[in-house]
Structure 1
Amino acid sequence: MGTRVAAMGTRPAENHTSVPPKQDWRTVEERKIDDWLPVTASRNGKWWYSAFHNVTAMVGAGVLTLSYAMSELGWGPGVAVMTLSWIMTLYTLWQMVEMHEMVPGKRFDRYHELGQYATLGLWIVVLQQLVVEISMDIVYMITGGKLLKKFHDLVCDSSCKDIKLSYFIMIFASAQFVISQLPNFDSIATISLAAALMSICYSTIAWGASVDKGKADNVDYSLQASTTSGMVFDFLGGLGQMAFSISGHNVVLEIQASIPSTEETPSKKPMWKGVIVAYTIVLLCYFPVAFVGYWAFGNSVDDNILITLNTPKWLIAAANMMVVVHVIGSYQVYAMPVLDMMEMVLVRKMRFSPGWKLHLVSRSLFVAFTMFVGITFPFFGGLIRFFSGLAFAPTTYFLPCIIWLTVYKPRVFSLSWCANWFCIVGGVLLMVLGPIGGLRQVIMRALTMHIYDKLKSANTRTTKRGVNIASLCLALHTANQQRCA
């Protein structure tokens, strides 16, 4: 990759050769702590481990919403946004892989370490990273519970007693309490492999079942909204959904930290091989689901394509359980850097003794926190479009480019300079515009639920008179919304 950097008009920073390649400036205590912390505890990872972890981090349950995002954008913009997002995120991920060992003798094992070296400041990067990783783990906690409930409802129909969502979230959390005690990325490689395989399977089910059903009668490819304001907000919502669906940058340096590195075979070589495999899988999962689902159902597709498919029931139930397995692995991949930060502060700043007891307490508290938030705010998943714009856009689209420009200082108007500024401008626009559509959708859904709750209360007061006012009003409200949209 070094020749590629040179070809793109990049000048290596002059101070990069000041540290001897094999020099290790860490103290004995620092080495002991690094050998215990989850990110740096093991350097035995293989290139295929990085492929598993990256697929698990990138291909989430959000892939099932891409057909709906296409219905908000339409064919032309939808194809363009999907393709451009895939290319841009691959480019910025390559930059991070390259910068992992850009200083001889030193490895930037964590995103915030790279940001500090580029003088961006510790808290700028740490806050962005924590917002992404913690919010994603909360969403995964809720998603896992909802999918378990969906599976239960599909299998049992009306023969089983209805169980609250909070109990299913607790069931999902109980698995995380156990798995979170695994010490590092290498130890969750098998779980990551299972999650990656499940993502391929349920994505294939989604677009394969769509092909099997064929194009719906009177399929309509016009935009869902008919008013100008509705089309604009839907476009921004679909833009954010697609642009932020491909993102594993928040954990890529931590994944690369688990791979051994020598002068002959630096870690970027096996890591890049794993990234190429991961992005190929992303291509094979995302594009067919987005395009085939939209081709089959047009603007009548639901925000989860499995709901649109509905039958055969056994296949949809199996797909839901596959997503559960995938979400279990995704939770762990995003949790590992957070646990690393927590335990680093506890050991280095607060002087706790490293050991299994600290692992047990700190990790159990983190899982309990995400479970508590998931149970308390089950609508939190609806905010992910808003949070993703504020945090995913910087860490995925333009922070790597800013670091690259700061460190390597490519010639003005060279290919590297132009590519980085294109990503920076595009990423800033995504950060500003993406959350607008997501926030509007959250507000609209909240208003709808608020109205529904009031109507439901009115229904309770009027059922004695034999009049189901809530059902009638809710039907009229829904019909009116459809006409206004």
Structure 2
Amino acid sequence: MEGEEITTNNKEALSIEQGQLRGDQDHEFYLPSAHTIGHDSWQQVGLMLVTSFNCGYILSFSNLMLVPLGWTWGIICLLVVGFYTAYANWLLAAFHFINGQRFIRYRDLMGFLFGREMYYITWVSQFLTLLLGNMGLILLGGRALKEINSEFSDSPLRLQYYIVVTGATYFIYSFLIPTMSAMRRWLGPSTVLTFTYIVILLVVVVKDGKANTKRDYAIHGNKADRVFNAFGAISAIIVCNTSGLLLEIQSTLRKPAVSNMRKALYLQFSVGLVFYYGVIMVGYWAYGSTVSEYLPGELSGPNSVKVLINAAVFLQSIVSQHMYAAPIHEALDTKFLKLETGMNTKENLKRRFYMRALLFTVNSFVTAAFPFMGNFVNLFGSFTLVPLTFVFPSMIFIKVKGKTARLEKNLWHWFNIIHEDM
């Protein structure tokens, strides 16, 4: 199937992009999966996107993005990358169905259109991104716990201990809540935690900003450092706006999956983006180029507020990290669980326990061994997310619709491919 060529007539080619071909969605076929397919509402998925992209990662973005770029280039890059990412995800959502087949995994779609080699390139790119992202979230949770302990002790434990606690907590959650769809009941509390810590954080940061009359917005370092740091900042902006797993998220949506996915994306790139871009800009406004790489560490107090913010960040990250790890769990569950029985049979529970334990043990060990890897996660993540987000959707468009699309559309997508490859 991976090397099979697709054939579409003009009507189908047009309808694929617009998401209006009812026949494709009414008589769908998709490869087997151990996880739930076609069940969730767009509101549930949209809320999951908003909360997951507003996880504690955003607390480092003022330092990572605006300090190297400054106000002018920082705002320009935030807007351009945000718009470009929203468009690329909107486009990719249209290709969830082709000729009656529903592609519940990105790698399956790339393999179907371009062959086995692209299947594995996509698979490796996605899973490296997700594994590194999970390590970054484990590091984030550990840092939040250490900040809490620092408020009560003059000699807190080393960060590695909190990383282990965070990894164990994530493991328990992923075992008890095995799929994206199963997150449904947890999205309400996650939303409350998200907006609680963001609102409290913004109030304290604005207060600090008003008291800080000597803010320095200059970009420091020699030319080589500035160029390297600017590239790292753009990489972080890409990471904060996209995940590289749109089709896996879309697979959970009920019909019509294309329009429902786009509604969820509208929610992410409106409500969600306003909050995490707001934290980025307000943090930089308040503290300037000296803003900490972990924003709560910059707050003037009171201590109870710092504890509350860090506790909310940690608890929220337990839920939000699951969206990024779920495609890895799905691949392992589909491969090793007995699909003919339920997920919660004794044998499948045992296998799921071992697989989740192995994943989080390895990730926690690597994170504890390299607790300084936060910047590397953003930098390397951008290398894998650029093709997944910007190049592959244009390749898919040309493959599926190139013969029927207008010349200017084809030129635009060829420009995307060539420009991003450079």
Which band: TM-score by shorter chain? 0.7 to 0.9
Tell me if structure 2 keeps the 8 A contact 1:53–1:255: no
Aligned to 1:3: none
Q: Which amino acid aligns with 1:288?
A: G
What whole-Å deviation, never above 9, does each CA across 1:208-265 have from its counterpart, x for those lacking one?
322222342222222122x2223222222222222322113x232222211222xxxx
**Cα distance between partner residues in 2 of 1:421 and 1:197:** 43
Change beyond 3 A, Cα 1:356–1:43: farther
Unaligned runs of 5+ residues in structure 1 are: 1-5, 430-485
2:96 corresponds, among 100, 107, 124, to 100
Matched, 1:152 2:157: no
Does residue 38 of structure 2 align to residue 47 of structure 1?
no
The structure-2 alpha-carbon separation of the partners of 1:295 and 1:324, relative to structure 1 and needing over 3 Å to count, comes to same
The separation in 1 between residues aligned to 2:195 and 2:417, in whole angstroms, is 31
Q: Quote how far apart the aligned CAs of 1:412 are.
A: 5.8
The share of aligned pairs that are identical, in percent, is: 21
Q: Which residue among 295, 298, 305 is the counterpart of 2:288? A: 298
Larger radius of gyration: 1
User: How far 1:378 moved relative to its partner?
Assistant: 2.1
Do structure 1's residue 312 and structure 2's residue 302 form an aligned pair? yes
Unaligned 5+ residue runs, structure 2? 1-9, 340-344
Q: What is the rounded CA distance, in whole Å, between the counterparts of 2:121 and 2:370 in structure 1?
A: 27
Among 115, 123, 137, the residue aligned to 1:126: 123
Shift, 1:83, TM fit: 0.3
2:165 aligned partner, one-letter code: I
Per the normalisation by structure 2, the TM-score is: 0.84
Are 1:417 and 2:410 matched, yes or no? Answer: yes
TM-score (ref. length: structure 1): 0.74
Tell me whether 1:245 sits opposite 2:235 in the alignment.
no
Q: Which residue, 156, 159, 169 being the options, matches 1:162?
A: 156
Other structure's SS at 2:247 match: helix
Does the alignment pair 1:324 with 2:314? Answer: yes
Instruction: Kindly state the Cα deviation for residue 10 of structure 1 after the two structures are TM-superposed.
Output: 6.2
For the 8 Å contact 1:59–1:246, the answer to whether it is kept is no
**Take 2:357 and 2:205, find their aligned partners in 1: how far apart are those partners?**
41
Find the counterpart in structure 2 of residue 234 from structure 1.
229
Counterpart Cα distance in 1 of 2:241 and 2:122: 19
CA drift of 1:393 comes to 1.6
Output the amino acid matched with 1:359.
R
- The 8 Å contact of residues 194 and 325 in structure 1, kept in 2 or not, is answered as no
Aligned position for 1:258:
252
Distance 2:217 2:160 in 1: 38
CA distance in 2, matches of 1:199, 1:147: 14
What is the CA-CA distance between 1:342 and the residue it aligns to? 1.7
Partner of 2:174: 180
CA positional deviation for 1:413? 4.4
Instruction: Give the alignment's Cα RMSD to 1 decimal.
Output: 3.0
Which one-letter code corresponds to 1:322 in the other structure? A
Q: Secondary structure at the match of 1:184?
A: coil
- The letter for the 2-side match of 1:219 is R
Paired residues of 1:42 and 1:184 also in contact (CA < 8 A): no
What are the within-5 Å matches in structure 2 for residues 41-440 of structure 1?
Answer: 41-68=36-63, 69-104=65-100, 106-119=101-114, 121-154=118-151, 156-158=152-154, 162-181=156-175, 182-215=177-210, 216-225=212-221, 227-248=222-243, 250-261=244-255, 266-346=256-336, 355-409=348-402, 411=405, 413-414=407-408, 416-425=409-418, 427-428=420-421
Aligned pair in 2 of structure 1 residues 189, 293: CA closer, same or farther (>3 Å)? same
- Range with bigger deviation, 227-236 or 86-95: 227-236
Distance 1:20 1:223 in 2: 52
What displacement does 1:196 show? 4.0
Q: Deviations over 1:385-418 (max 9, x none)?
A: 331122122212222222222222164642x335
**Quick one: distance in 2 between partners of 1:170 and 1:143?**
12
SS in 2 for 1:180: helix
Deviations along 1:458-478, one digit per CA (max 9) or x if unpaired, are xxxxxxxxxxxxxxxxxxxxx
Contact 2:46 2:264 (C-alpha < 8 Å) held by counterparts = yes
- Asked whether the 8 Å contact 1:146–1:168 carries over to 2, the reply is yes
Question: 1:11/1:297 Cα in 2 relative to 1: closer, same or farther (>3 Å)?
Answer: same
